[in-house]
């Protein structure tokens, strides 16, 4: 069981499914949504992510995608796209313990910021992993 929460604590969630597709995303939309140079994500089957406290806010970040976040403190929480209808992506660093889900690669690195120097030895994919 993975558990997570936003910065202010109003939103708490859990997912019983084992994480997959653990990655660090360098795309411009994740960056802007988080105000950060890159964002760690893991994927669980749609429906296994469950909010247990609070009500996240949401918005459509592109025609096919919806992102949720805490309306009180702004912590980014999830990403869902109609392109992947069976999946929910969750931000690694909203977990109670992000050490539980280390990333396995860097994705969308074609738009990586020039001042981000990667030295973790993980695979770097220009676009998404195929
Ligand atoms: Zn919050
Ligand atoms: Zn991204």
Sequence-ordered list of residues with C-beta below 8 angstroms from that of 119, at least 6 positions apart, any chain: none
- To the nearest whole percent, how much of the chain has pLDDT over 70? 98
pLDDT of residue 130: 52
Q: How far is the CA of 73 from the centre of ligand 2 (A)?
A: 20
Q: What is the pTM of this model?
A: 0.96
Q: How far is the CA of 56 from the centre of ligand 1 (A)?
A: 8
Q: How far is the CA of 37 from the centre of ligand 2 (A)?
A: 11
Sequence-ordered list of residues with C-beta below 8 angstroms from that of 42, at least 6 positions apart, any chain: 19, 20, 21, 22, 23, 89, 90, 92, 101
Residues 81-109: what's their mean pLDDT?
97
Q: Tell me the domain boundaries of the chain.
A: 2-111
Residues 56-73: what's their mean pLDDT?
97
Report d(CA 53, CA 118) in Å as an integer. 36
| Pairing of the two strands 76-81 and 65-69 | antiparallel
pLDDT band at 43 (very low <50, low <70, confident <90, very high): very high
Q: Does domain 2-111 have CATH number 2.170.150.70?
A: yes
pLDDT of residue 112: 97
pLDDT band at 1 (very low <50, low <70, confident <90, very high): very high
Task: List C-alpha distances in Å: 53 to 14, 23, 47, 111, 122.
Answer: 10, 26, 16, 35, 35
Q: How far is the CA of 27 from the centre of ligand 2 (A)?
A: 4
pLDDT of residue 95: 98
Instruction: Name which of 86, 12, 73 is nearest 46 in CA terms.
Output: 86
Q: How far is the CA of 9 from the centre of ligand 2 (A)?
A: 24
Q: How far is the CA of 20 from the centre of ligand 2 (A)?
A: 16
Q: How far is the CA of 30 from the centre of ligand 2 (A)?
A: 4
Looking at the predicted structure, is the pLDDT value of residue 115 above 80? Answer: yes
Q: How far is the CA of 81 from the centre of ligand 1 (A)?
A: 23
Please give the sequence-ordered ranges of beta strands (E in DSSP) within 36-109, or none if there are none: 39-45, 49-53, 57-62, 65-69, 76-81, 87-91, 106-107
Looking at the predicted structure, is the pLDDT value of residue 129 above 70? Answer: no
The token pair at 117 is 């120097």
Residues 11-21: what's their mean pLDDT?
96
């Amino acid at each position: 069981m993975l558990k997570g929460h936003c910065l202010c604590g109003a939103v708490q969630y859990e997912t019983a499914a084992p994480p997959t597709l653990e990655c660090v995303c360098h795309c411009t939309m994740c960056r802007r949504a988080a105000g950060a140079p890159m964002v760690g994500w893991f994927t669980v089957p749609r429906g296994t992510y469950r909010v247990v406290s609070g009500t996240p806010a949401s918005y459509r970040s592109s025609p096919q995608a919806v992102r949720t976040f805490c309306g009180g403190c702004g912590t980014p929480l999830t990403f869902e796209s109609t392109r992947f209808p069976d999946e929910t992506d969750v931000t690694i660093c909203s977990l109670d313990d992000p050490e539980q889900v280390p990333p396995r690669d860097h994705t969308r690195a074609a738009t990586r910021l020039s001042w981000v120097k990667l030295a973790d030895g993980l695979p770097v994919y220009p676009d998404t992993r195929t």
